[in-house]
């Protein structure tokens, strides 16, 4: 079936179920959405209703910039947050939360001698599960909160069973975490910018890129790439491809491309990483493989990305990308949302520490522990 036939069938209400979507393991089954930008209703949305429509899609998520916990009575006092280990053993200078993020009343330290007086301890999963470091052996001070921090997917998170009933708060990319902080998020513009979505076609000489460091033939993303590359050229960059120039970054490199493969290494609820957000910062349209389209639409307007499950086969996806390259007006429908939103890429790990500190500062009442950490995180 050619791409024109597929799009005609889509618009006239033909079947949209992708065989790949129907067979995907490890995720809740859900109705697969088609190429949303081509819905007749979306043409209307691009008019006066666009700003409202885009805003609604983001109301499904808690705002990571706002405190999810109720405030204690009165002005909460300063709190001390102890970082038990630096993630992955890489030391980074601790930030000034007020100067950098406008979060007051936070004292950050990595000095373990501060343990008895710390209001909360933040522990990164990798170090405690690999026995790089042990949990505190001293009795836990009254009211002290232990925060479990992890930004890897369940496929790469081992030993959760060891920490049942240990932690008080979770901090992850999942929207149902106690402290929610995604890899990135959209920030509504105070005033929509008329020129925020320029025609990028003449200034982007290349079609499709993929930056990948960890290549494994067992991954769904590699299997999909091997099928897609039969129908469209893909520039593979990074440690698993052509090295990035020493004086460049992922975002700077991707600015030369119309589309970017934002393919996650595993597929889990809310696991949408910097791969997506880097491509958005670069102004490219991301082609995503990860959780279902409905999950992405909690973070983004429907037209802001192309999901591989929108198409029954990689061949039809390739034809659609080539069609967009030939049709700048059609391509702009994937970019119009930029008039109403800017992209924020979460600052690892400074933003995490300050977000956790704000949560602890404004919430004094919770002291219960999490009894089913593994069941929750793997759900």
Same domain, 301 and 335: yes
pLDDT > 70? residue 163: yes
Confidence at 195, pLDDT banded by 50, 70, 90 = low
Q: Are residues 336 and 362 in the same domain?
A: no
Q: Is 2 inside any structural domain?
A: no
Q: At a CB cut-off of 8 Å and minimum separation 6, what does 122 contact? A: 81, 82, 83, 84, 147, 149, 171, 353, 356
Clarify whether residues 128 and 227 are in a common domain. Answer: no
Task: Of 50-59, 163-172, 202-211, give the lowest mean pLDDT range.
Answer: 50-59
What is the chain's mean pLDDT, rounded?
Answer: 85
Question: Whole domain around residue 232: which residue ranges?
Answer: 192-342
**Amino acid 343: pLDDT:** 97
Q: Is 45 domain-assigned?
A: no
Q: What is the mean pLDDT of residues 125-137?
A: 93
pLDDT above 70: residue 223: yes
Q: Give catalytic status of residue 152 as yes or no.
A: yes
State whether 356 and 338 are in the same domain: no
**Using an 8 Å Cβ cutoff, are 256 and 248 in contact?**
no
Q: What is the 3-state secondary structure (H, E, C) of the chain?
A: CCHHHHHHHHHCCCCCCCHHHHHCCCCCCCCCCCCHHHCHHHHHHCCCCHHHHHHHHHCCCCCCCCCCCCCCCCCCCCEEEEECCCHHHCCCCCCCHHHHHCCCCEEEECCHHHHHHCCEEEEEHHHHHCCCCCCCCCCCCCCCEEEEECCCCHHHCCCHHHHCCCCCEEEECCCCCCEECCCEEEEECCCCCCCCCCCCHHHCCEEEEEECCCCCCCCHHHHHHHHHCCCCCCEEECCCCECCCCCCCHHHHHCCEEEEEEECCCCCCCCCCHHHHHHHHCCCEEEEECCCHHHHCCCCCHHHCEEHHHCCCHHHHHHHHHHHHHCHHHHHCCCHHHHCEEEEECCCCHHHHHHHHHHHHCCCCCCCCCCCHHHHHCC
pLDDT-based confidence at 64, cuts 50/70/90?
confident
Cα–Cα distances (Å) from 357 to 77, 113, 209, 364, in that order, read 12, 19, 38, 12
Residues 292 and 325 in one domain: yes
Same domain, 199 and 334: yes
Contact present, 298 and 60 (Cβ < 8 Å):
yes
CATH number at residue 325: 3.40.50.11660
User: What is the rounded distance in angstroms from the CA atom of residue 168 to the CA atom of residue 162?
Assistant: 15
3-11 helix and 314-326 helix, angle to the nearest 10 degrees: 90
pLDDT value at residue 75: 60
**Which of 300, 299, 282 lies closest to 237, judged by CA?**
282
248 shares its domain with 132: no
The catalytic residue among 73, 127, 152, 264 is 152
Do residue 313 and residue 206 come from a single domain? yes
Q: Per the structure, how many domains does the chain have? A: 2
337 and 351 inside one domain? no
Residue 220 lies in a domain: yes
- Mean pLDDT score, 190-196: 69
With respect to residue 46, please indicate whether it lies within any of the assigned structural domains. Answer: no
138 plus 199 within the same structural domain: no
For residue range 37-59, list pLDDT tens digits in order: 333 333 333 333 333 333 434 44
Contact 370, 147 (CB under 8 A): no
Does residue 117 sit in the same domain as residue 258? no
Is 159 within the bounds of a domain? yes
On the question of pLDDT at 35 being above 90, the answer is: no
Residue 326, pLDDT above cutoff 80: yes
Please indicate, yes or no, if residue 40 is contained in any of the structural domains. no
Q: Are residues 197 and 338 in the same domain?
A: yes
Residue 54 included in any domain:
no
Residue 31 lies in a domain: no
* Average pLDDT score over residue span 140-155: 96
């Amino acid at each position: 079936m050619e791409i024109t036939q597929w799009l005609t069938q889509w618009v006239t209400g033909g079947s949209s179920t992708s065989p790949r979507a129907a067979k995907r393991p490890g995720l809740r089954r859900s109705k697969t959405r088609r190429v949303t930008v081509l819905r007749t209703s979306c043409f209307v949305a691009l008019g006066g209703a666009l700003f409202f429509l885009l805003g609604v899609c983001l109301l499904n998520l808690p705002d990571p910039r706002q405190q999810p916990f109720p405030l204690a009575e009165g002005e909460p006092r300063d709190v001390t947050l102890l970082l038990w280990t630096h993630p992955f053993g890489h030391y980074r200078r601790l930030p000034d939360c007020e100067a950098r993020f406008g979060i007051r009343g936070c004292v950050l330290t990595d000095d373990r001698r501060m343990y008895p007086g710390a209001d909360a301890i933040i522990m990164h999963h990798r170090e405690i599960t690999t026995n790089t470091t042990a949990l505190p052996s001293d009795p836990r001070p009254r009211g002290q909160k232990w925060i479990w921090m992890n930004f890897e997917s369940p496929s790469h998170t081992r030993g959760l069973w060891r920490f049942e009933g240990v932690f008080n708060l979770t901090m992850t990319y999942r929207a149902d975490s106690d402290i929610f902080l995604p890899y990135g998020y959209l920030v509504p513009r105070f005033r929509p910018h008329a020129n925020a979505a320029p025609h990028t076609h003449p200034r982007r000489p290349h079609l499709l890129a993929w930056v990948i460091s960890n290549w494994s033939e067992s991954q769904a993303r590699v299997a999909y790439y091997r099928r897609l590359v039969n129908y469209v050229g893909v520039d593979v960059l990074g440690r698993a491809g052509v090295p990035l120039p020493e004086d460049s970054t992922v975002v700077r490199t991707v600015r030369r491309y119309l589309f970017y493969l934002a393919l996650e290494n595993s597929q889990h609820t809310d696991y949408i990483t910097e791969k997506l957000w880097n491509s958005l910062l670069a102004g490219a349209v991301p082609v995503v493989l990860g959780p279902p389209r409905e999950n992405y639409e909690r973070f983004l307007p429907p037209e802001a990305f192309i999901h591989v499950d929108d198409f029954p086969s990689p061949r039809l996806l390739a034809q659609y990308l080539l069609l967009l390259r030939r049709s700048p007006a059609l391509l702009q429908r994937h970019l119009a949302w930029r008039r109403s939103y800017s992209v924020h890429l979460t600052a690892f790990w400074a933003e995490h520490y300050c977000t956790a500190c704000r949560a602890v500062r404004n919430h004094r009442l919770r002291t219960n522990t999490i009894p089913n950490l593994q069941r929750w995180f793997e759900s």
